[in-house]
Amino acid sequence: MKYIHDFTVTDNIRQNHEFVVLTLKCDSTIPEIVPGQFAEVRVDNASNTFLRRPLSIHDVNYNNNSLKLLIQEVGEGTKKLSNLNKGDSINMVYPLGKGFTKPLNDQKSLLVGGGCGVAPLLFLGRYLVKNNITPRFLIGAKSSKDLIRLDEYRDLGEVMITTEDGSEGVKGFIIHHPVLKTEKPDFNIIYTCGPDGMMRVLSKYAAKHNIDCQVSLENNMACGFGACLCCVTPTQQGHKCTCIDGPVFDSKYLKW
Amino acid sequence: MKYIHDFTVTDNIRQNHEFVVLTLKCDSTIPEIVPGQFAEVRVDNASNTFLRRPLSIHDVNYNNNSLKLLIQEVGEGTKKLSNLNKGDSINMVYPLGKGFTKPLNDQKSLLVGGGCGVAPLLFLGRYLVKNNITPRFLIGAKSSKDLIRLDEYRDLGEVMITTEDGSEGVKGFIIHHPVLKTEKPDFNIIYTCGPDGMMRVLSKYAAKHNIDCQVSLENNMACGFGACLCCVTPTQQGHKCTCIDGPVFDSKYLKW
Amino acid sequence: MVDLSVNLGNNLVLKNPVMTASGTYGYGTEYADFIDINQLGGIVVKGTTLTKREGNPYPRMAETPKGMLNAVGLQNVGVDSFIETIYPKIKDFNTNMLVNVSGSTVEEYVETARKINSLDNIPGIELNISCPNVKEGGMAFGTSCPSAIAVTKAVRDVYKKHLMVKLSPNVTDITEIAKGVEGAGADSVSLINTIMGMAIDIESQNPKLSTITGGLSGPCIKPVALRMVWQTANAINIPVVGMGGISSVSDAIEFILAGASAIEIGTANFIDPEITIKVIDGIEAYLCEKGCKSIGEITGALKI
Amino acid sequence: MVDLSVNLGNNLVLKNPVMTASGTYGYGTEYADFIDINQLGGIVVKGTTLTKREGNPYPRMAETPKGMLNAVGLQNVGVDSFIETIYPKIKDFNTNMLVNVSGSTVEEYVETARKINSLDNIPGIELNISCPNVKEGGMAFGTSCPSAIAVTKAVRDVYKKHLMVKLSPNVTDITEIAKGVEGAGADSVSLINTIMGMAIDIESQNPKLSTITGGLSGPCIKPVALRMVWQTANAINIPVVGMGGISSVSDAIEFILAGASAIEIGTANFIDPEITIKVIDGIEAYLCEKGCKSIGEITGALKI
Ligand SMILES: Cc1cc2nc3c(=O)[nH]c(=O)nc-3n(C[C@H](O)[C@H](O)[C@H](O)COP(=O)(O)OP(=O)(O)OC[C@H]3O[C@@H](n4cnc5c(N)ncnc54)[C@H](O)[C@@H]3O)c2cc1C
Ligand SMILES: Cc1cc2nc3c(=O)[nH]c(=O)nc-3n(C[C@H](O)[C@H](O)[C@H](O)COP(=O)(O)OP(=O)(O)OC[C@H]3O[C@@H](n4cnc5c(N)ncnc54)[C@H](O)[C@@H]3O)c2cc1C
Ligand SMILES: Cc1cc2nc3c(=O)[nH]c(=O)nc-3n(C[C@H](O)[C@H](O)[C@H](O)COP(=O)(O)O)c2cc1C
Ligand SMILES: Cc1cc2nc3c(=O)[nH]c(=O)nc-3n(C[C@H](O)[C@H](O)[C@H](O)COP(=O)(O)O)c2cc1C
Ligand code: FES
Ligand code: FES
């Protein structure tokens, strides 16, 4: 069941020059949300946006009907949202899409994120912990200043890092990290969200080592709930909507 | 000379359910402004406005480069503007148009306003006082709750009132006020701004008694400075732009 | 109580004038979590073709000032699958389910229409001769009068229920096409389909759509759509269904005043999935306020 | 330093590709308080006709989503008054002053063009065969290929300087008209003029414009304009001047990538009277960033 709810901003914490975390509280009861699902957020008081903006659920607290969004400022929509203040109202259609699926009990997971793609991985991490699976994170960034909320992730499990300039962790891209260089991976499922290029590389890696890989796509969307067919991605079964058949797909299913 | 200046809101005082007075301060030196001139105000952070909004200069303080706007909330543009807070920024193209012209020294004036049309009359009143002419005001409204800032006007001269429901002053429309009922008017120039109907009645009255009447029109505008020819009014000399040939016209000149 | 019902002729009666536009409302079910879709005057489902279509490659949409471009390109399961798998799920909705029919040859249109003619609970089709997003046709039929007439006539021969023809705005004179399809036997016309547009990403210097050009929809096209509806309503004698950018009660009433017997809401559903219900309620409130007893009193009531 | 200059042919050389659109820039002087108008590539002055015109009655404009409708109707002093009273004031501006020429008969166009041909400091005219706001003609010339050709040919015979023909978007196929006027001797084409639209005040139930319909301009029409510029640039061999909704640097670059040799800015000037200068500076910055030495390197450089 999808809902249209008004939320109130209870907190807006700036992470760095381009990221904020919004905490939002709902008067209604928030429904159960699966990690990887997203919301279509209305952007109010903006001169140059028209459609809603898709944003992953970053964290959920069912006890007080609140959730968090991790927002990267890229254009007018995300800039407006990241400048909301405590007390401001925000309207969301949610929860949308198919989220990550739970690993088998004996599977070892690696959660790989880059850019705003780290957003759904926190919620996913919590979910894995709740299911007695310890997540390991591999996070890639341009530079150390782009790494945010590491403590939150570390609370859940090991955090490995690559930076393009080598200012923290391993220098290079995610694929250069030693954890992906071993003969035989010591995990058997990858969850990933981030730049297309990164996810394609991981999906090839997973195919080569014959392990599972769930990727979360960020295709442009108009509706977010399957009504417009704008957000398709080519799959083994033809065009599928990223918004309802995804955003999380088994990488083997995609025609990459 | 016209300018494009950024102003900062230093005060926003709500007058009643539909009127506010904004005080704006400019970092640059504000140019000399004639009463009746207006500004084209940019509306920021609005989803449904496109053009600037024309608003009269309500009051000016050259000493601290500040001025006031009296805004009636009618649509999205004026609603946005009237919800600006202290510290917010506002961009104006100003001063625009031809204002009221000074009466001859021996002329006695009557300043007649209704609705947001009272806005330019305060600044005009001050200007007359400075020129040693005591203004008298006749202000019309639906009801007493629509009468605003009367003290400001009373500081400058006598204030007469009509209300449609009789809740203050004379019951009826402006034209029903005794001051306009005498055989021979005890003033020889009318300055008026307000609803079209009101101004047409006054203009007829002035013609009948052979006195001067300056009316300030509120035609829809796209540019405000003579570039688009959208704001015309028919005059004895054909179509004239309200924004540069007006907004203040001698009523005899108009084809009403 | 105000009578909101509209009779579009040939057994198509809407409980109110608010329908949803093809390609923006899936098969209706996509909105069932948000509103009671049975309250709608009608739902025009996805563009349907004789055989399954994968549609155009991604990217298929771009945001524009107060609007969007799309280049979906009629992705759909094909009419047989529609009849087998989708029709059973939607046939018992208590609203008019119309099928938007597309094709690249007259024969395709005819064959698809013939198959749909057999479905008891589909009271009409919207003949899409105006899709700008497929190479082989669609819009080509809607931008030339002779071909618009030809395809309408051919479909009319096999399709006995309500035949609504959806017109393209990408023409010099829409009334000419409207008169043509009226003469060819259409029961009503609907307009406008999207206006052909384009957008470029200046960083990559690529078009934003895989197909370079696409169809513009949303509030930005409303003034153009309203003008065409007004022109068309004054030119023909069959009902006009108006659409193009409707996203508020006031927009809907503008179209009705201009002469639309009913309206369709498209893109606005993406931003407010409840908009249709708000518009239905708002039209009723407007009629009450104006002291009207039925919607017909304001249809084409523009004072000129 | 980047070379921003553009040669549109027949002695019309712009110092940069940014001009202003007719009817939105008065005679240039209206903007002189805000910017140094000599920095512009060109200024196209108000639509000018053989005899004085009062234009349409008020109301002449209505705001629409990200745009506006206008129905000015070519109010102007007439070509003789223009020559006598206005030309002397504008002839020494250090930019290209083009006159937008309108008419309701071929003879009127020809006569007006002939008179302007004699003005030394007017390097060209923009032949407006696309004004939707006058009953007697204008747009009628621009929506039929034979009449577009006829008026262009007739004017070409008497007008020896740069002849730019301004095309109407209210057509099924703009490239057909573009090819026609190219063949008839135009030196360049400019597009688009406004799209015919309409708006209604639902309270009074009156049209918002005295003329019922009017011309739509502003960002809302940009996707349509861009598409038409791209189509036209690919169809003809004379330069294309693009316009329609340009209100940012990025908009301007989209048009240039689509194939416009130069651009005109219209409605956006009302909201930001300094926009032209910002666009000129922004184009230069973009070229620097992309490592281009001249504007020509990105003209029509869309990657498809
Ligand atoms: C399922 C999903 C989950 C997402 N989760 C997050 C998240 O948790 N945090 C976060 O910061 N970002 C997330 N994104 C990306 C985010 O939606 C875009 O950054 C945002 O829409 C850009 O809007 P804008 O107005 O700031 O930028 P603009 O560039 O002005 O946007 C213009 C248009 O392009 C679309 N668009 C631009 N970039 C993207 C993109 N990467 N993905 C989809 N549409 C795009 C916009 O929606 C809009 O229609 C997610 C995207 C998807 C599809
Ligand atoms: C010279 C001049 C001086 C004015 N001075 C004042 C003033 O001091 N205080 C004040 O409250 N109002 C004043 N007005 C009226 C004010 O401009 C309008 O109320 C305002 O533009 C409405 O905008 P909106 O977005 O709130 O309403 P909308 O109804 O949403 O506006 C839609 C469109 O109509 C135009 N419009 C609507 N009403 C008017 C109107 N009455 N006059 C001109 N354009 C209109 C808007 O500019 C806009 O383009 C003045 C108008 C003019 C022409
Ligand atoms: C994503 C999308 C897909 C569409 N698909 C179709 C279609 O399959 N058949 C059709 O006739 N019109 C289609 N249209 C056009 C709409 O039905 C409608 O005519 C147009 O969008 C204008 O209305 P609007 O501005 O309210 O959206 C589509 C529009 C959009 C935005
Ligand atoms: C108020 C107004 C008046 C116009 N007058 C003319 C005119 O006289 N002649 C002409 O060719 N185009 C005229 N136009 C059209 C513009 O020159 C331009 O083609 C159109 O507005 C699209 O560009 P824009 O969206 O940048 O404004 C006018 C446009 C507006 C808004
Ligand atoms: S965004 Fe509309 S179907 Fe996916
Ligand atoms: S508003 Fe543009 S000329 Fe007056």
Which residues of chain C are within 8 Å of residue A230 when distances are taken between CB atoms? Answer: 60-61, 70, 72
Q: Which residue of B has its CA nearest to A46?
A: B45
Whether residue A45 lies within 8 A of chain B, CB to CB, comes out as yes
Q: How far is C175 from chain A (nearest CA, A)?
A: 29
Residue from B211, B213, B255, B251 nearest B237 by CA: B255
- CB-based burial label for D92 (10 Å; 0-12, 13-18, 19+): exposed
Q: Exactly one of D131, D145, D220, D292 is catalytic; name it.
A: D131
Chains in contact with B via at least 3 Cβ–Cβ pairs below 8 Å: A, D
Pocket lining for ligand 6, CB < 6 angstroms: B 221-224, 226-231, 241, 243
Q: Do D67 and B50 touch (CB under 8 A)?
A: yes
Q: Do B227 and D31 touch (CB under 8 A)?
A: yes
Say how many Å lie between the first and final Cα of chain A, rounded: 31
Of D64, D202, D218, the CB nearest to C222: D64
Does the predicted model carry a pTM greater than 0.95?
yes
- Band of pLDDT at residue D134, cut at 50, 70 and 90: low
DSSP assignment of D71-131: -----B--HHHIIIIIHHHHTT-SSEEEEEE--SSHHHHHHHHHHHHT-TT--EEEEE---
* Separation between Cα atoms, residue D35 and residue D14, nearest integer Å: 18
**Counting ligands in written order, which one lies closest to the CA of residue B54?**
2
Element containing residue B33 per DSSP (H, E): none
The residues, any chain, with a CB within 8 Å of residue C281's CB and separated by 6 or more, are none
From ligand 1's centre to the CA of A194, what distance in Å? Answer: 12
pLDDT in tens, D148-190: 999 999 999 999 999 999 999 999 999 999 999 999 999 999 9
From ligand 5's centre to the CA of A230, what distance in Å? Answer: 5
If one residue of B38, B51, B241 were mutated to test the ligand 6 pocket, choosing by the most ligand atoms within 8 A of its CB, it would be B241
pLDDT score at D93: 97
Kindly report the CA angle at B135 between B130 and B139, in degrees rounded to 5?
Answer: 135
CA distances from B74 to B81, B108, C30, C219, D143 (A): 11, 34, 37, 21, 40
Chain A residues interacting with chain C (CB cutoff of 8 angstroms): 1-4, 42, 48-52, 93, 219-234, 238-239
Q: What is the 3-state secondary structure (H, E, C) of D233-248?
A: HCCCCCCEEECCCCCC
Residue D131 catalytic? yes
For chain D, the domains span 6-52+76-204+217-297
Parts of chain B with a pLDDT under 50 = none
- Whether D137 shows a pLDDT value over 60: the answer reads no
Pocket lining for ligand 5, CB < 6 angstroms: A 221-224, 226-231, 241, 243
From ligand 1's centre to the CA of A53, what distance in Å? Answer: 6
Percent of chain D with pLDDT over 90: 93
Domains in chain B (CATH in brackets) are 3-96 (2.40.30.10), 109-253 (3.40.50.80)
Q: Do D254 and C199 touch (CB under 8 A)?
A: yes
**D267 in helix, strand or coil?**
coil
Chains A, B: CB pairs < 8 Å: 10
The residues, any chain, with a CB within 8 Å of residue D159's CB and separated by 6 or more, are D113, D114, D116, D117, D125
**Counting ligands in written order, which one lies closest to the CA of residue A222?**
5
From ligand 2's centre to the CA of B218, what distance in Å? Answer: 7
- CB-based burial label for C63 (10 Å; 0-12, 13-18, 19+): buried
Which residues of chain B are within 8 Å of residue A44 when distances are taken between CB atoms? Answer: 47
- CB-based burial label for D303 (10 Å; 0-12, 13-18, 19+): exposed
- Whether D136 shows a pLDDT value over 60: the answer reads no
Phi-psi region of C11 (alpha: psi -120 to 50; beta: other; left: phi over 0): left
Q: How far is C304 from chain D (nearest CA, A)?
A: 6
Q: What is the 3-state secondary structure (H, E, C) of chain C?
A: CCECCEECCCCCEECCCEEECCCCCCCCHHHCCCCCHHHCCEEEEEEECCCCECCCCCCCEEEECCEEEECCCCCECCHHHHHHHHHHHHCCCCCEEEEEECCCCHHHHHHHHHHHHCCCCCCEEEEECCCCCCCCCCHHHHCCHHHHHHHHHHHHHHCCCEEEEECCCCCCCHHHHHHHHHHCCCCEEEECCCEEEECEECCCCEECCCCCEEEEECHHHHHHHHHHHHHHHCCCCCCEEECCCCCCHHHHHHHHHCCCCEEEECCHHHHCCCHHHHHHHHHHHHHHHCCCCEHHHCCCCCCC
Q: Do C270 and A232 touch (CB under 8 A)?
A: no
Q: Do A48 and C33 touch (CB under 8 A)?
A: no
pLDDT score at D142: 82
pLDDT score at D138: 64
Cα radius of gyration rounded to whole Å, chain B: 18
Whether residue D87 lies within 8 A of chain B, CB to CB, comes out as no
Which residues of chain C are within 8 Å of residue A93 when distances are taken between CB atoms? Answer: 34, 273
Whether residue B45 lies within 8 A of chain A, CB to CB, comes out as yes
Which residues of chain C are within 8 Å of residue D226 when distances are taken between CB atoms? Answer: 197-200
Phi, psi of A60 (to 5 degrees): -135, 140
Contact status, residue C126 vs residue C164, Cβ threshold 8 Å:
yes
pLDDT score at C39: 98
pLDDT score at C134: 63
Q: Do B46 and A44 touch (CB under 8 A)?
A: no
Mean pLDDT of D231-254: 98
Chains C, D: CB pairs < 8 Å: 135
CA distances from B115 to B148, B163, C234, D84 (A): 10, 11, 39, 44
Q: How far is C241 from chain A (nearest CA, A)?
A: 21
pLDDT score at C133: 64
The answer, yes or no, to whether any atom of ligand 1 lies below 6 A from the CB of A92, is: no
If one residue of C217, C255, C269, C279 were mutated to test the ligand 3 pocket, choosing by the most ligand atoms within 8 A of its CB, it would be C217
Q: Do D223 and C170 touch (CB under 8 A)?
A: no
Whether residue D72 lies within 8 A of chain B, CB to CB, comes out as yes
**For C6-52+76-204+217-297, which CATH class?**
alpha beta
* Residue type, position D253, single letter: I
Both tokens of A233, joined, read: 């991605």
From ligand 3's centre to the CA of C75, what distance in Å? Answer: 13
Of B2, B222, B232, the CB nearest to D58: B232
Percent of chain B with pLDDT over 90: 90
pLDDT score at D140: 76
Residue from D76, D101, D301, D74 nearest D190 by CA: D101
- The strand pairing partners of A174, in sequence order, are none
Per-residue pLDDT tens digits of chain C, which is 304 residues long: 899 999 999 999 999 999 999 999 999 999 999 999 999 999 999 999 999 999 999 999 999 999 999 999 999 999 999 999 999 999 999 999 999 999 989 999 999 999 999 999 999 999 999 876 665 556 678 888 999 999 999 999 999 999 999 999 999 999 999 999 999 999 999 999 999 999 999 999 999 999 999 999 999 999 999 999 999 999 999 999 999 999 999 999 999 999 999 999 999 999 999 999 999 999 999 999 999 999 999 999 999 9
Q: Which atom of ligand 5 lies closest to the CA of A243?
A: 4
* Separation between Cα atoms, residue A85 and residue C266, nearest integer Å: 33
If one residue of B38, B53, B98, B233 were mutated to test the ligand 2 pocket, choosing by the most ligand atoms within 8 A of its CB, it would be B53
Whether residue C89 lies within 8 A of chain A, CB to CB, comes out as no
Pocket lining for ligand 3, CB < 6 angstroms: A 228, 230; C 21-24, 46-47, 70, 72, 74, 100, 128, 131, 166, 193-194, 217-218, 221, 243-246, 265-268
Residue from A130, A96, A124, A98 nearest A35 by CA: A124
pLDDT score at D135: 58
Q: Which atom of ligand 4 lies closest to the CA of D194?
A: 20
Read off the DSSP letter of residue A254: B
Q: Which residue of D has its CA nearest to B238?
A: D54
* Separation between Cα atoms, residue C147 and residue C141, nearest integer Å: 5
Phi, psi of D256 (to 5 degrees): -70, -45
Chains in contact with A via at least 3 Cβ–Cβ pairs below 8 Å: B, C
* Separation between Cα atoms, residue C298 and residue D187, nearest integer Å: 50
Contact status, residue D169 vs residue D195, Cβ threshold 8 Å:
yes
pLDDT score at A106: 73
* Separation between Cα atoms, residue A58 and residue D143, nearest integer Å: 55
